[in-house]
Amino acid sequence: YFWEFGDGSTSREEKPTHTYQKDGIYYVNLTVTDDGGKEGRTTAEVRIDMHTPPETEVVIAGLYGENDWLLSSAYLSIDATDWSGVKFSMFRIDGGKWQRYTDPVEVKTNGYHVIEFYSEDVWGNREDIKEKIFKIDMELPYLLVKLSGERIDNWFTSPVEVLCLAKDNVSGINVTMYRIDGGVWKIYKDSFVIKEEGRHVLEVYTKDFAGNRKSWKGNIFIDTEPPFTTYSISGDFSKGGKVRVELLAKDNGTGVACTYCSIDGGDWKVYSSPFFVAGDGYHRIEFYSVDHFGHKEKVRCVEFYIGENPEVNIAKPEKAIYLYGNKLMSAPVAIIIGPIEVKCSYQPSYMVPEKVEFYVNGKICHVDYEEPFSWMWSERGFGFKELKVIAYYIGYTSVDRIMVFKLS
pLDDT digits (tens, 9 = 90+) for 349-361: 767 888 999 999 9
Going by pLDDT thresholds of 50, 70 and 90, the confidence category of residue 213 is very high
In a shared domain, residues 339 and 401: yes
In a shared domain, residues 288 and 315: no
In a shared domain, residues 20 and 71: no
Per-residue confidence (pLDDT) for residue 23, from 0 to 100 = 81
- Mean pLDDT for 136-161 is 96
- Mean pLDDT for 353-374 is 95
Query: 177-197 burial by CB neighbour count: b if 16+ within 10 A, else e?
Result: bbebeeeeeeebeeeeebeeb
Q: How many CB atoms lie within 10 A of CB 74?
A: 21
Per-residue confidence (pLDDT) for residue 51, from 0 to 100 = 72
- Mean pLDDT for 129-140 is 98
Per-residue confidence (pLDDT) for residue 22, from 0 to 100 = 84
In a shared domain, residues 316 and 400: yes
Q: How many CB atoms lie within 10 A of CB 88?
A: 15
- Domain finish residue from 192, 222, 252: 222
In a shared domain, residues 66 and 115: yes
Q: Rounded mean pLDDT of the chain?
A: 94
Q: For the chain, how many residues are written?
A: 408
In a shared domain, residues 316 and 393: yes
- Domain finish residue from 136, 163, 198: 136
In a shared domain, residues 43 and 61: no
**Is 219:162 a contact under the CB 8 Å cutoff?**
no
Identify the burial level of 288 via C-beta atoms within 10 angstroms of its C-beta, where 0-12 means exposed, 13-18 middle and 19 or more buried: buried
- Domain finish residue from 306, 332, 363: 306
In a shared domain, residues 233 and 286: yes
- List pLDDT tens digits, range 42-78: 999 888 777 789 999 999 999 999 999 999 999 999 9
Going by pLDDT thresholds of 50, 70 and 90, the confidence category of residue 281 is confident
Q: State which residues form the domain around 37.
A: 2-48
In a shared domain, residues 91 and 115: yes
> How many structural domains does the chain have?
5
Per-residue confidence (pLDDT) for residue 84, from 0 to 100 = 80
Q: To the nearest whole percent, how much of the chain has pLDDT over 70?
A: 100
- Mean pLDDT for 93-109 is 97
In a shared domain, residues 279 and 263: yes
Contacts of 135 (CB under 8 A, 6+ apart): 68, 69, 70, 111, 112, 113, 171, 210
- List pLDDT tens digits, range 229-241: 999 988 887 788 8
Which helix (H) or strand (E) segment holds residue 356: the answer is strand 355-360
In a shared domain, residues 322 and 402: yes
Residue 160 predicted with pLDDT over 70? yes
In a shared domain, residues 262 and 276: yes
- Mean pLDDT for 23-48 is 89
What CATH number does the domain containing 363 carry? 2.60.40.10
